[in-house]
């Protein structure tokens, strides 16, 4: 099967079973448009930027057995995510760079397959002496995922062999009769499941299953955040929602879906799907961001979604997409693709700067004071409520974005026995051999999506298109279609097309009344894009005084959405509580821009949820 994937260009997740089958990166080609531009910036700018910082920070040099190791305990993983990005790019111009890094990694691997620059060397702590915080298995997971990417996109070579030796070591040490514990940071689970899919060696799937089943039985020590932080509080089958550290939670759930699909464990799949549904309904921000607790980067309790306390780590957005994609492949339900779209446009697209060399680590929904842009050559602490930074002491997000953008084409479309399904809309060419399509669209700026048949079989097939949940009034070739999916089955011929028109127009969105932090406010969305208000767009108006009039019309104007409201300024006093303020004040026009564009015009205050005049 590996050779088949090399021909098709590889794909991030390749289940052997499920409702839908993913397409390879050579089967889907992005063409000029929203996502193509971001993928090009990633390839042309971000990869160079990342390698510079991996070298300058000393993290890459750690593999040379440096005496003074640099970086956090998990810094090895950033080198592996960078390698995964290079593997998915599969660009001959990047091959020498790829091989040079692989040579460093391979030289540092011990004869028994162990590989970590932070443990086991003279003067360092022993191997596996800190499973709660050491991240050894987490780092192995990213190494293995890089090997999986290389095997699928290029074929077996030295990195794949390094990854297999590492996986064999993990199975030897943590398999039956070995250490009966798990890593504090999930990641090894989906990696081992994918390596099983590459190699056919069921030992790796069984080890992934063991890690999944062990978690939740208090095999790790208790910590100040509680065992829920690393999902070791209750068994995964008994949990009712995603909880704890948001990246750990989504990575673990992704691995659980992989194991459930490959073993036919419907109970486990149902459990994870239920946890996802609960978290999306009660613990997810309007942007698709996950994680509202700053102290532990974690999900809060239900409805704990205050906009100014939105942590919404970029890596949690990546983890959310990984999980939703696996659930989509397993079950074929459009709601999973809906969340992927929301997260892509409002978390993933928001993080990198236009030049691909600065990034948001967290993604707040309310910036109370203007941020400060860190110097270009400065490694900074995690940037919460600031402007995009070039690099962080914990720099998991830039490398996670790099591998996501490099493999983005793999999340657009799927196949099944009846035909082809398009889940995400962007200009692209799709060619699976018997079926070839061109997708022409300026989405999300415009809602028209034209699918033109380039090649078709002599027999009928079904073309399935997703209708986003917000797209009331959508039409297919002029006929009304409801949110969900629309299926067109017939014998297609080259040159014909179908045209989907989605109602991409501004709309007001109101929060559930149980979310205390945004009660009495409204947000504006246009298609899949969340909009925000920035202080740079308000002249001589106090930013915090602006109230939106929910009865006013919304209009598109020069790339912005404009709505009417008032500048309501309560009188200051000696006590911040008084009788209700009435919506009086000067009338103002409120210009809103896409949230993913915020802070690209300099320091600014910002809010997504705007108080209403009611």
- Summarised one tens digit per residue, pLDDT across range 380-407 is 887 665 789 999 999 999 999 999 999 9
Is 1.20.1740 the CATH classification of the domain at 32-411?
A: no
Model confidence at 514: pLDDT above 90 = yes
Tell me the mean pLDDT in the region 19-26. 98
In this predicted structure, the answer to whether residue 218 has a pLDDT above a threshold of 90 is yes
For residue 272, what are its two tokens? 């994870």
Handedness of CA 156, 161, 166, 167 (dihedral sign): positive
Q: CATH 2.60.40 in the chain, residues?
A: 413-501
- Would you state the pLDDT for residue 592? 98
Q: How distant is the alpha carbon of residue 55 from its chain centre? A: 26
Number of helices followed by number of strands (H, E) in the chain = 14, 22
In this prediction, residue 66 has a pLDDT band, given cuts at 50, 70 and 90, of low
Q: From the CA atom positions of the chain, what is the Rg in Å?
A: 24
Span(s) in the chain for CATH 1.50.10: 32-411
Res 379: pLDDT: 87
Q: Compute the average pLDDT of residues 183-195.
A: 98
Asked if residue 126 has pLDDT above 60, the reply is yes
Per-residue pLDDT, 583: 59
Mean pLDDT calculated for residue range 520-546: 94
More confident residue, 2 or 429: 429
- Predicted pLDDT at 383: 66
The three-state (H, E, C) secondary structure of 535-587, written as one string: HHHCCCCCHHHEEECCCCCCEEECCEEEEEEEECCCCCCCCCCCCCCCCCCEE
Name the least confident of 256-265, 353-362, 536-545, 594-603. 536-545
Average pLDDT over residues 494-499: 98
CA 37 – CA 43 distance, rounded (Å)? 10
Treating both helix axes as pointing N-terminal to C-terminal, what angle do 334-343 and 314-331 enclose, rounded to 10 degrees? 160
Mean pLDDT of the 470-497 span: 97
pLDDT digits (tens, 9 = 90+) for 24-48: 999 999 999 999 999 999 999 999 9
Q: Which two three-digit tokens encode residue 100?
A: 């040079």
Is residue 580 scored above 80 in pLDDT?
no
Instruction: Summarize the confidence of residues 443-449 as an average pLDDT.
Output: 97
| DSSP notation for 424-473 | S-SSEEEE-SS-EEEEEE-TTSS-EEEEEEEE--SS-EEEEEEE-TT-TT
Q: What is the dihedral of CA 512, 516, 518, 521, to 10 degrees?
A: 70
Percent of the chain scoring above 90 in pLDDT: 91
- Return the closest-CA partner of residue 538 out of 494, 492, 588, 501: 588
User: If you average pLDDT over residues 139-144, what whole number do you get?
Assistant: 98
Which residues have CB under 8 Å from 237's CB, separation 6+? 267, 268, 271
pLDDT value at position 298?
97
CATH fold label, 413-501: Immunoglobulin-like (2.60.40)
With 0-12 CB in 10 A as exposed, 13-18 as middle and 19+ as buried, what is 240? exposed
pTM: 0.97
Residues 77-106 have a mean pLDDT of 97
Residue-wise pLDDT tens digits, 242-284: 999 999 999 999 999 999 999 999 999 999 999 999 999 999 9
Q: For residue 540, name the pLDDT band (cuts at 50, 70, 90).
A: confident
What's the mean per-residue pLDDT of the chain? 96
Contact 47, 89 (CB under 8 A): yes
In angstroms, the first-to-last Cα distance of the chain is 60
């Amino acid at each position: 099967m590996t050779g088949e994937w090399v021909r098709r260009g590889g794909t991030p997740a390749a289940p052997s079973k499920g409702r839908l089958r993913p397409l390879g990166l050579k089967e889907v080609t992005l063409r000029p448009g929203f996502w193509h531009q971001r993928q090009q910036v990633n390839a042309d700018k971000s990869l160079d930027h990342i390698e510079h910082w991996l070298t300058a920070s000393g993290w890459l040099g750690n593999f040379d057995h440096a005496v003074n190791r640099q970086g956090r305990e998990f810094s090895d993983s950033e080198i592996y995510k960078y390698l995964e990005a290079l593997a998915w790019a599969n660009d001959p111009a990047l091959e020498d760079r790829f091989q040079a890094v692989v040579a460093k990694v391979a030289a540092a691997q011990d004869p028994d397959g162990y590989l970590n620059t932070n443990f086991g060397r003279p003067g360092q702590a022993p191997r596996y002496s800190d499973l709660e915080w050491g991240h050894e298995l987490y780092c192995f997971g990213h190494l293995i995922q890089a090997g999986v990417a290389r095997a699928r996109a290029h074929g077996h070579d030295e990195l794949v062999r390094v990854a297999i030796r590492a996986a064999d070591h993990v199975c030897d040490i943590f398999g039956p009769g070995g250490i009966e514990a798990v890593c504090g940071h999930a990641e090894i689970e989906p990696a081992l499941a994918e390596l099983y899919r590459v190699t056919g060696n069921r030992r790796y799937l069984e080890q992934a299953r063991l890690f999944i089943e062990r978690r939740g039985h208090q095999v790790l020590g208790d910590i100040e955040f509680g065992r829920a932080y690393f999902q070791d509080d209750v068994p995964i089958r008994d949990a009712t929602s995603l909880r704890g550290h948001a990246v750990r939670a989504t990575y673990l759930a992704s691995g659980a879906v992989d194991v459930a699909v490959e073993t036919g464990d419907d109970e486990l799949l149902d459990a994870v799907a239920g946890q996802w549904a609960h978290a999306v309904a009660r613990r997810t921000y309007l942007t698709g961001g996950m994680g509202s607790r700053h102290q532990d980067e974690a999900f809060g309790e239900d409805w704990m979604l205050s906009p100014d306390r939105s942590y919404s780590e970029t890596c949690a957005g990546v983890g959310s997409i990984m999980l939703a994609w696996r659930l989509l492949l397993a079950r074929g339900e459009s709601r999973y693709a809906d969340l992927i779209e929301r997260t892509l446009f409002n978390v993933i697209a928001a993080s990198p700067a236009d030049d691909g060399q600065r990034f948001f680590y967290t993604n707040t929904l309310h910036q109370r004071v203007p941020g400060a842009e860190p110097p270009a050559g400065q490694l900074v602490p995690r940037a919460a409520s600031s402007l995009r930074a070039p690099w962080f002491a914990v720099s998991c997000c830039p490398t996670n974005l790099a591998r996501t953008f490099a493999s983005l084409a793999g999340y657009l479309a799927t196949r099944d026995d009846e035909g082809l399904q398009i889940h995400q809309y962007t200009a692209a060419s799709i060619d699976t051999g018997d079926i070839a399509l061109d997708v022409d669209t300026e989405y999300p700026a415009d809602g028209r999506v034209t699918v033109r048949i380039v090649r078709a079989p002599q027999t009928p097939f079904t073309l399935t298109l997703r209708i986003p949940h917000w797209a009331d009034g959508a039409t297919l070739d002029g006929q009304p279609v409801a949110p969900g999916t629309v299926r067109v089955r017939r014998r297609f011929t080259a040159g014909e097309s179908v045209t989907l028109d989605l109602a991409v127009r501004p709309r007001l969105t109101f929060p559930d009344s149980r979310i205390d932090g945004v009660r009495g406010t409204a947000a504006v969305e246009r298609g899949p894009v969340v909009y925000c208000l920035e202080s740079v767009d308000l002249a001589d108006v106090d930013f915090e005084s602006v109230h939106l009039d929910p009865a006013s019309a919304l209009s598109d104007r020069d790339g912005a959405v404009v709505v009417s409201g008032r500048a309501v300024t309560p009188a200051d006093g000696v006590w911040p509580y008084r009788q209700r303020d009435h919506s009086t004040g000067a009338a103002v026009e409120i210009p809103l821009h896409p949230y993913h564009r915020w802070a690209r015009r300099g320091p600014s205050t910002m809010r997504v949820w705007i108080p209403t005049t009611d």
